[in-house]
Structure 1
Amino acid sequence: MAASALPPASTAAAPAASAAAVPTASRAVCAPAAARGPASRGGGAAGGARAGSPGSPVPPPPPVPRASCGAFAYGLRLPAARAAAGRHAHLLPLLAVVALLLVPPGRGPDAGGGTLADAASGLLVLWCLVRVARARVRPLTRLAAVVVGLPVVGLCAAAVTAHDPAAALPGLVRHLQVFVLVPAAVVLTLRDRRDLVAVAWALIGLALVQGGVGVVQYATGTGASYRGEDVRAVGTFGPTDVMGMATVVAYGIVAAVGLALGAPARSRARFAALGCAALLAVPLVLSFSRGAWIATLLACAAQLVATGPRRALRAALAAGALAVVLVGGLGVGSAMVQERVASITRVAAAPDRSVTDRYAMWAAAAGMWRDRPLTGVGLKGFPAHRDSHASLALSSGSDTAGAGMGFRRQPLLSPHNMYLLVLGEQGLLGLLALGGGWLALLLCGCRRLPAALRTGREADCALVALGLLGWQLVDFLYADIGGPSTVLTAVVLGVSAWWALAPRDAEAGTAAGGRSRSASGEGAGAAGGGPGVGAGARRSGCGVRSGAGLRSGAGVRCGFRGGPGTVPGAVPPGGRP
């Protein structure tokens, strides 16, 4: 009786064998047949007992061929790739605006209208309007709406009070596109840091392609005409927009330097960004644009100083030593480049023809403002009032040729100074509205810079956005809007506005478009939280306040109510949904 009360040895060992057989089989699924023991080939642990008989171990699953293992691994990677692509799908309209700047503009005698990039920017604005209409809530915070919409006051006043309101209407549409609509659409499109980094790399990619075309133009003598030789690098923009490639390449350099300074030390992202910045320096030099050189140098210097005076000093010494070795020792750089650099110091004592024309047009714009100080002469009114206010030193136009185009006399339609252009055409009201908005972006962005540099979480975003804004504000001293590359200026202003105006209290949180759904494994106390929200997180106002289980990087942005980054059903401050 004592012997019969004891279970058989195989029966007693069954639970242990069953528990051990499952993980062993799961590890042996993709292993070779020779590496698996007799039990894995169906031998059993109790003298070949059949599966399902009392006391027999759980049989392992049949072996899977290696081809199936590879397909299984590919199947695991495919959803991740699709998820990554889906996360950036909302950026496609914005990235299309950047990519379409690679398409050469029209070069006929009547060219100068809209481009494919302009059409794409219109579609971007319409897409954002549809999203806002479907959400039925206010998409921007009060501060963002005021700063972004402030230029509308001066633009509408200048258009209504113009001598020819019908002629000012195209200028009103263009200015609204560049300074209001597209920047607002960019603010609504960007959701988090990764979106801004993606746009920055898109700018760098565009700059690399345009810069590569410019270097080929210089090397083969197929560029725009400069001092009688077709050596000026202009990319695909042509000789009628000599500042186009220089602007794009400068954007790429500033974005690359910002990403490099904000990336971790010795990371691949830092080395890649520094390499791109070094490559883009060549086409920037070959553009022969002194204004772009000065603006790029000042913007990069400001980025370096923001990250630390010691780093800025080391970078300045290294750049100076490299320039001395390349130019002084090895003789790198053509005589044209050296003469162009030297001419920067002679713009006051011995100005060339382009500088003389610029001074005359600056004086003409100031004269227009003195005649109508409040609202100016009206949008697109500078060409009509130029000759009555300019001195006799102003030439009749600039000569353009090369890059696939014949000789053409291009009229001088703007003073090549954005601030004076606004002052002459929109008056003091327009300058205060437009310049006040830019100043607000700069101040709000700089206010958030110390915290970003201290935490390091969004240092790259801060340096890129403020660097691009600083470059644009400096370049406006020597240039204004005009040409196919103008739409990229609107994108840059939108990127800067997103950094300066988007709420930073929970900016790394969940965005709209499906990312506000709670994932499996998150805590039961998460109320509308996104990935990374654990138990204990609770909704507060229009965001998610961290509880016991809120991991770093989780949260919900509450600035765009009902738009990107909001919790469905959250009630904004004030109690109104």
Structure 2
Amino acid sequence: MTLTVTAAPAVPAVEEQAPPHGWGGLRPLLPLLATVLLVAVPSGDGEAGALAGVPAADLVSGAAVLVCVGVLLFLRRRPLSPAAALVLGLPAVVLALATVTAADPVAALPGFVRYLQIFVLVPAAVLLLVRDASGFRVVVGALVLLAAVQGAVGVHQYVTGTGASYMGETIRAVGTFGPGDVMGMATVVGYGVVAAAAYALRAPAGTPRPLKPWAAVTAALLLVPLTLSFSRGAWIATAAGALAVIALTGLRQAVRAVAVLGAAGVVLVGGFGVGSEMISQRLTSITEVTSAPDRSVNDRYTMWAAAEGMWREHPAAGVGLKGFPAHRDGHASIGLSSGSDTAGAGQEFRKQPLLSPHNMYLLVLSEQGLIGFTALVGSWAALLVGGVRRLVLARARGSAAVDCGLAAVGLMTWQTVDFLYADIGGPSTVLTGIVLGLAAWWALAEPEEATAA
């Protein structure tokens, strides 16, 4: 009797075969691509691009979820893996608990729907509809395209003086989001910088040779509208995401990339004088926020303290979803202003009420307590840690999909850092769900899917 022993390959064999391309492979991704690209459609006072007050991108994200349900029911594909079900499903359970235990469950219901959309349903749809690394790259490519469009609009606003009001001048780049969502364009462009940097440092195998330099040029050019957004939080988050991508590519490439980014910054700000004086003041204000904060920073600190006070009174379950505005005045000091001034970009002057602490972690802690905080933040931490772990393994094995890992980890790093200065709200929020889904796909997808070329 002869015994035959077959050694298992170190890397899944499917990596050696390129998945099928063409419209057949892209069809499942169309709802995701439409969700990303429709974020560019304005949904301002006239509700253009919105139906019943709901932005078009949010409506299409619901269609993506329905497509996912159809795929599971009619094509009989496997649902989420146990790990993915735990990471994405546990927040859903906790969100339901926070809704039913709120002082006014009916008022908390819209918050439950929004949180469920962004942190559970859309990420799960991305995880299930993206079947391979090629699909991942297509969705990320749509993010970069959206960033380029929004960035171009933002630069035009600065040059022509048609942007949002900033220091008495209508020069702030906000893209199509308007002055009511000054973080929208900065968020989109920040995503684009990080994603383009990932592909500039590690272009996918088999792609045209010009892709790598064009990705580097795109990342450098997107720094212009990012700078002109005057968004300190987006600057910090983009720097963190880009540094994470650079650090995970290896020492030699990291040194080279840091040198290129430094040179680009000098040329864009110093050489061309892109808003250099105002940018210098904005950068300086980052280090002065504790000693001489401006009014916006003072309001933010006041709301942070109010959120902390709510949590201390309700440490386990918080004040309930959508409860922050109702409890704000009872916990905020008299130093809190009546609202932030917004104007420009086609909108008349108005006061925008301060309805959140502009810190996602404190918002969750105040409204959902330690129970919700542990579930949601634990889910994000699992995606980030799992993504880094898989990326390290993919690099060690010579995987062809390392570029996907760099983009996923970079985007997730961007999001977790940005949550220190922002929370969910506005038309660009649906992209948070897309980013979390991309991170989930890389961290939690089956090995043969996440390593396919």
TM-score by length of 1: 0.72
Aligned CA distance change for structure 1 residues 321 and 236 (closer, same or farther; 3 Å)? closer
The answer to whether 1:163 aligns with 2:103 is: yes
Aligned CA distance change for structure 1 residues 86 and 489 (closer, same or farther; 3 Å)? same
Give the distance between the partners of 1:297 and 1:183, measured in 2 at CA: 24
| Contact map agreement 2:270 2:276 (CA 8 A) in 1 | no
Give the distance between the partners of 2:314 and 2:441, measured in 1 at CA: 35
| Contact map agreement 1:161 1:378 (CA 8 A) in 2 | yes
Aligned partner of 2:291: which letter? A
Match in the other structure for 1:219 = 159
Aligned CA distance change for structure 1 residues 328 and 488 (closer, same or farther; 3 Å)? closer
Equivalent of 2:123 in 183, 188, 197: 183
Q: Which has the higher helix share?
A: 2
Structure 1: where are the runs of 5+ without partners?
1-81, 510-552, 554-577
Give the distance between the partners of 2:59 and 2:122, measured in 1 at CA: 11
| Contact map agreement 1:358 1:416 (CA 8 A) in 2 | yes
Give the distance between the partners of 1:397 and 1:350, measured in 2 at CA: 20
* CA deviation after TM superposition for structure 1 residue 329, in Å: 6.1
The answer to whether 1:369 aligns with 2:307 is: no
Match in the other structure for 2:15 = none
| Contact map agreement 2:131 2:449 (CA 8 A) in 1 | no
Give the distance between the partners of 2:174 and 2:264, measured in 1 at CA: 26
* CA deviation after TM superposition for structure 1 residue 323, in Å: 3.7
Q: How does 1:396-475 map to 2 (within 5 A)?
A: 396-454=338-396, 455-475=398-418
Instruction: Please list the CA deviations of residues 519-542 of structure 1 after superposition, one character each: whole Å capped at 9, or x if unmatched.
Output: xxxxxxxxxxxxxxxxxxxxxxxx
Give the distance between the partners of 2:253 and 2:162, measured in 1 at CA: 40
Match in the other structure for 2:419 = 476
Aligned CA distance change for structure 1 residues 484 and 470 (closer, same or farther; 3 Å)? same
Give the distance between the partners of 1:415 and 1:116, measured in 2 at CA: 27
Percent identical among aligned pairs is: 62
Alignment coverage as a number of residue pairs = 429
Aligned partner of 2:36: which letter? V
SS at match of 1:320: helix
Instruction: Please list the CA deviations of residues 339-368 of structure 1 after superposition, one character each: whole Å capped at 9, or x if unmatched.
Output: 111111111111111110000000000011
* CA deviation after TM superposition for structure 1 residue 285, in Å: 0.4
Q: How does 1:549-560 map to 2 (within 5 A)?
A: none
The answer to whether 1:340 aligns with 2:282 is: yes
SS at match of 2:175: coil
Instruction: Please list the CA deviations of residues 169-222 of structure 1 after superposition, one character each: whole Å capped at 9, or x if unmatched.
Output: 010000000000010001010010100111111001001001111111111111
* CA deviation after TM superposition for structure 1 residue 260, in Å: 1.4
| Contact map agreement 2:98 2:317 (CA 8 A) in 1 | yes
Q: How does 1:34-183 map to 2 (within 5 A)?
A: 84-108=22-46, 113-136=53-76, 138-183=78-123
* CA deviation after TM superposition for structure 1 residue 505, in Å: 4.2
Instruction: Please list the CA deviations of residues 391-414 of structure 1 after superposition, one character each: whole Å capped at 9, or x if unmatched.
Output: 111111001011001011110010
Q: How does 1:142-541 map to 2 (within 5 A)?
A: 142-263=82-203, 267-324=209-266, 327-328=269-270, 331-454=273-396, 455-505=398-448, 507=450
Aligned CA distance change for structure 1 residues 203 and 329 (closer, same or farther; 3 Å)? closer
* CA deviation after TM superposition for structure 1 residue 374, in Å: 0.7
Larger mean Cα displacement after TM superposition, 400-409 or 446-455 = 446-455
* CA deviation after TM superposition for structure 1 residue 259, in Å: 1.3
* CA deviation after TM superposition for structure 1 residue 127, in Å: 1.1
* CA deviation after TM superposition for structure 1 residue 503, in Å: 1.2
Aligned CA distance change for structure 1 residues 389 and 376 (closer, same or farther; 3 Å)? same
TM-score by length of 2: 0.91
Structure 2: where are the runs of 5+ without partners?
1-19
| Contact map agreement 2:269 2:276 (CA 8 A) in 1 | no
| Contact map agreement 1:144 1:501 (CA 8 A) in 2 | yes
* CA deviation after TM superposition for structure 1 residue 324, in Å: 4.3
Give the distance between the partners of 1:442 and 1:258, measured in 2 at CA: 16
Aligned CA distance change for structure 1 residues 87 and 325 (closer, same or farther; 3 Å)? closer
Q: Which runs of 4+ in 1 moved over 6 A?
A: 109-112
Give the distance between the partners of 2:196 and 2:227, measured in 1 at CA: 17
Give the distance between the partners of 2:61 and 2:24, measured in 1 at CA: 21
| Contact map agreement 2:408 2:439 (CA 8 A) in 1 | yes
